Amino acid sequence: MSELVGKTLLGNKFVQDPKQDYIKIDGVSLGKSDKFGYKTDKPNGIGDLLDKLLLDNKAAVIVYDWDKKIAYIKTGFDLNDASDYSLKEKSTTFIKKSKVTEGQKKFFAGDKEPTNTVPDNKPDTSSTPDKVSTDTAPDNVLGSIRVNECVRLSSKDSTKFELNGMPFVPVGWNAFFLGLMSETDDYPTKAQITEIFEGARKLKATVIRSHTLGFSAKSKKALLDNKNNFNDKAWDVIDFAYKEAKRCSIKIIPVLVDGYDYYHGSYDSFTKPFGISKEQFYTNDSARQEFKKYLNTYLNHVNSYTGVAIKDAVEVAFLELGNELGNIRPKSKSIAIPTQEWIEDITRYIKSIDKKHLVLNCSDECLGSKQSNDFAVKELDVFQSHFYSRDFSRIKRDAKRSADVKRPYIIGEYDSKWSDDWFKDIEAIPNVRGSMAWSIYPHDNGKPTGKRMPHNDGFTFWCDTQSDDNVKKLLSMTNHFRRMQNLAEVKSISF
């Protein structure tokens, strides 16, 4: 039991309880799966209940809800199953020391391999189920991985990813609105945030890329105000999204700035204070220092739900330098290409603060151009491009150039209207290690049966079965996610 004391789970620590027969952890519920169900109690005091349960050999775990004054008594818990624990505010889990198994002790010791994973390049030989249930726990690679690990480049092949020594495949979708919604210029509800992460988990996604979880400016409710001061109220939904990502074993790709002048702002937030033009963002030292000040505050921000700084957050997959920087779109006020020197300097600066996370490049159409020269930047860990036309020649070229410098390549955005033929084509291209669809949107009540929140860019889909077209999209996506992770395909989905 001493092996657990002092260890951190979901940002909270196991500690010795004053009652010497128990250890405890605040803010985390253990033993959630049905196999550990036992009974509930509404005691006059938790201390008396703990004493009484010492005589009950079936009782191993007591989850006490301080608001409801209810104790949920379980027969055990499983740290190797990420669906068996979650964050739960205003609760404490008490664990009998005598019930801590060797397997639980070894969870943090690094000498037990996670179960329910598929070795790299080995096909899943299980039968294909007819339906993916939205009520079951995840069976993807993340489903049993220890949560105190960050994604890294594979120790055997740096063009691949690993998580806790096992293959990791970044597949999922874009949810740009998670920190700020465009139509309402307001924050999404927490139910809507939960809906997106639960949907990703149920459809076997592993990542969500989000612009406004990394940056927003320009509007009253954005993360940055017009003087580049941080808005404390904006942090709450960002923190909650990080918490939900951790709970659902989904990784986040926060986008740290944007090149376009859309509703959530652009990097001109860092040039305006000095009265210089937007295109000088990459060359002006004052603008650069202002951006670095922002990055420093963002990376050191401590999540109000998990108590963990972003620079240490295991729910981050990659830190993305910026969205489509260098795509020339004068109408959207994107008119400059990042320089190699800027990419090198900003990447090094991020890594001087954040020692744990991989850095994803910011270029798209200009990837590898003479000016950005991305592939010469040794500090970059991952490369990407975005596709709204089936430009397979560009995918093959960029994937190969990434492989040449021994780095993985992902497709950060693609047209959600494409289906099986697109997926199977990109799956066959060497060194395409992941992909994210554009883009998911929530329902008004955060449930698949609710009214769809509209976003009329032509690429929006939802986690529901309200239309045949949407079902077809989701089915193609989940089977792509599954094939990429060597999991069994499904024939239908339901919510």
Task: List the chain domain ranges.
Answer: 8-106, 141-484
**Six-digit token pair at 178?**
């998670």
CATH code, 8-106: 3.50.4.10
> Residue 133: pLDDT above 60?
no
In angstroms, the CA 15 to CA 23 distance is: 6
- The reported pLDDT for the residue numbered 109 is 57
> Residue 127: pLDDT above 70?
no
In this prediction, residues 472-476 reach a mean pLDDT of: 97
> Residue 248: pLDDT above 60?
yes
> Residue 214: pLDDT above 80?
yes
What is the percent of the chain with per-residue pLDDT over 90, rounded to a whole number? 74
In angstroms, the CA 461 to CA 439 distance is: 6
In angstroms, the CA 194 to CA 208 distance is: 12
pLDDT in tens, 365-397: 999 999 999 999 999 999 999 999 999 999 999
> Residue 329: pLDDT above 60?
yes
What is the percent of the chain with per-residue pLDDT over 70, rounded to a whole number? 91
Least confident of 85-94, 352-361, 443-452: 85-94
pLDDT in tens, 41-100: 999 889 889 989 999 999 999 999 998 899 999 999 988 887 788 888 889 999 999 998
Which DSSP symbol is given to 60? Answer: -
> Residue 437: pLDDT above 70?
yes
- The reported pLDDT for the residue numbered 372 is 96
- The reported pLDDT for the residue numbered 134 is 40
Write down the architecture of domain 141-484 according to CATH. Alpha-Beta Barrel (3.20)
Helix ranges (DSSP H) in 31-173: 46-53, 102-106
Contact 317, 172 (CB under 8 A): no
In this prediction, residues 268-274 reach a mean pLDDT of: 95
Q: What are phi and psi of 373, to 5 degrees?
A: 45, 45
Strand partners, 210: 254
In this prediction, residues 339-361 reach a mean pLDDT of: 97
> Residue 295: pLDDT above 70?
yes
The mean pLDDT of the chain is 89
Whole-model pTM: value is 0.74
What confidence category does residue 101 fall into, taking pLDDT thresholds of 50, 70 and 90? confident
What confidence category does residue 357 fall into, taking pLDDT thresholds of 50, 70 and 90? very high
Contact 281, 270 (CB under 8 A): yes
Contact 201, 208 (CB under 8 A): no
Strands annotated E in 11-154: 12-16, 22-30, 37-41, 61-65, 70-74, 85-96, 152-153
Least confident of 123-127, 154-158, 187-191: 123-127
> Residue 419: pLDDT above 80?
yes
Strands annotated E in 120-222: 152-153, 161-163, 166-168, 171-174, 207-210
- The reported pLDDT for the residue numbered 106 is 64
- The reported pLDDT for the residue numbered 38 is 86
- C-alpha Rg value of the chain to the nearest Å: 23
What confidence category does residue 17 fall into, taking pLDDT thresholds of 50, 70 and 90? confident
